[in-house]
Amino acid sequence: MKIFIDGKFYRDRAAKISVFDHGLLYGDGIFEGIRAYNGRVFKLKEHIDRLFASAKAILLKLPMTHAELMRATVETCRRNKIRDGYVRLVVTRGIGSLGLNPKGCKRPSVIIIADRIQLYPPEFYQRGLDIITVPTLRNLHGALNPAIKSLNYLNNILAKIEANNGGCEEAVMLNAEGYVAEGTGDNLFIVRNGALATPPPSAGALYGITRQTVIELAQQAGLGVSEPNLTRYDLFNADECFLTGTGAEIVPVVKIDGRVIGSGRPGAITRRLEEDYRALTKISGEPI
Ligand code: PXG
């Protein structure tokens, strides 16, 4: 594998970051998880746009332009002969002192890893997931804003561990007001009376790129889409439920906190959107 770090490519074991990098010391940095399908990088512009938005929010000046980051991502895929794969783009605050003040960090580091994708087991998609609400809450806007895709994922990691301890693959994370925010690494949708609803970013949902794509596909299919505050009650009484994310794509959810959702099987609208999403990934994206 060839890994991009600050403008150069390194082999796996030579690809290293300093122990003084504040990305490691403090989780001070941002990232993107991107997919390539059929020789194209899917929604690359949108991912780089979101990276810039995260950078702005944490006062990190990206050392490369938007166009340079797009080119470097495509080039990393090309050098690794990726047709279908997963790209992790990480920007750390860079090397500084042991103190948390980033003033001494002179240059952020840009890392791009392009690898084969580890797909989720097919059963997840065939049967649908059984998920649970967990105690760990989504970040507060007034603390670490949940729209920032930062390297501080401990909240979500704790929620994932809590889901796993409860025998589930994925968690429903609530916000401090008790409204549904999202999963640990995916957005959540419900279908009710033929229309979609998904928590708004103001409830703690990430501006998910798959989320946005699904909203557009639903609108093209003539389905209504709203972004209301949702409670667990709304999830329990939905006709269908699914999660969206770059890695997971669209995964049906059939049980939440012991309540069977709809028929207990992946729903027709979920299936339709899965198909539309797959079709879109095959034909669009930045050519490698
Ligand atoms: N919410 C959160 C908190 C995320 O981290 C999504 C939603 C979905 O967003 P996109 O833009 O991908 O549709 C994410 C995605 C993983 C993994 O291994 C996924 C994410 C981050 C880290 C790991 O599944 N992010």
pLDDT tens digits for 71-129? 999 999 999 999 999 999 999 999 999 999 999 999 999 999 999 988 889 999 999 99
**Cβ 132 vs Cβ 171: under 8 Å:** yes
Beta pairing partners, 286: 41
Atom 2 of ligand 1, nearest CA residue: 185
Atom 17 of ligand 1, nearest CA residue: 185
pLDDT digits (tens, 9 = 90+) for 206-216: 999 999 999 99
What the block records as the tokens of 285 is: 């994206």
pLDDT at residue number 166: 98
**Cβ 108 vs Cβ 20: under 8 Å:** no
> How far does residue 40's CA lie from ligand 1's centre (Å)?
20
pLDDT at residue number 246: 97
Residue to mutate (ligand 1; options 186, 243, 250; most atoms within 8 A of CB)? 186
Q: Which of 106, 149, 160, 282 is catalytic?
A: 149
pLDDT < 70: residue spans in the chain: none
> How far does residue 138's CA lie from ligand 1's centre (Å)?
13
The set of protein residues with a Cβ atom below 6 angstroms from ligand 1 is 33, 156, 182, 185-187, 206, 208-211, 244-247
Per the listing, tokens 């990098």 go with 21
Q: Where in the chain do CATH 3.20.10.10 domains reside?
A: 122-283
Per the listing, tokens 């600050």 go with 6
- What homologous superfamily is domain 122-283 in, according to CATH? D-amino Acid Aminotransferase, subunit A, domain 2 (3.20.10.10)
pLDDT at residue number 228: 98
The angle that helices 66-79 and 44-57 make with each other, rounded to 10 degrees, is: 130
The closest-lying atom of ligand 1 relative to the alpha carbon of residue 149 is 5
* Three-state SS annotation for the chain: CEEEECCEEEEHHHCCCCCCEHHHHHCCEEEEEEEEECCEECCHHHHHHHHHHHHHHCCCCCCCCHHHHHHHHHHHHHHCCCCCEEEEEEEECCECCCCCCHHHCCCCEEEEEEECCCCCCHHHHHHCEEEEECCCCCCCCCCCCCCCCECCCHHHHHHHHHHHHCCCCCEEEECCCCCEEECCCCEEEEEECCEEECCCHHHCCCCCHHHHHHHHHHHHCCCCEECCCCCHHHHHCCCEEEEEECCCEEEEEEEECCEECCCCCCCHHHHHHHHHHHHHHHHCCEEC
- What CATH number should be reported for the domain whose range is 2-115? 3.30.470.10
Antiparallel, parallel or unpaired: β 195-197 and 225-226: parallel
pLDDT at residue number 218: 98
Q: How far apart are CA 105 and CA 141, in angstroms?
A: 26
Residue to mutate (ligand 1; options 173, 180, 206, 281; most atoms within 8 A of CB)? 206
Atom 22 of ligand 1, nearest CA residue: 185
> How far does residue 249's CA lie from ligand 1's centre (Å)?
10
Q: Residue 26 to residues 29, 88, 97, 265: CA-CA distances in angstroms? A: 9, 19, 11, 42
Antiparallel, parallel or unpaired: β 29-37 and 187-192: unpaired
Q: Where in the chain do CATH 3.30.470.10 domains reside?
A: 2-115
> How far does residue 257's CA lie from ligand 1's centre (Å)?
22
When computed from its CA atoms, the radius of gyration of the chain, rounded to whole angstroms, is: 19
**Cβ 172 vs Cβ 180: under 8 Å:** yes
Residue 81 one-letter amino acid: K
Q: How far apart are CA 203 and CA 47, in angstroms?
A: 21
Residue 214 one-letter amino acid: V
pTM: 0.97
The closest-lying atom of ligand 1 relative to the alpha carbon of residue 47 is 11
Which candidate, 71, 65, 58, 50, places its Cα nearest to that of 105?
A: 58
Q: Note if 16 is an active site residue.
A: no
> How far does residue 173's CA lie from ligand 1's centre (Å)?
13
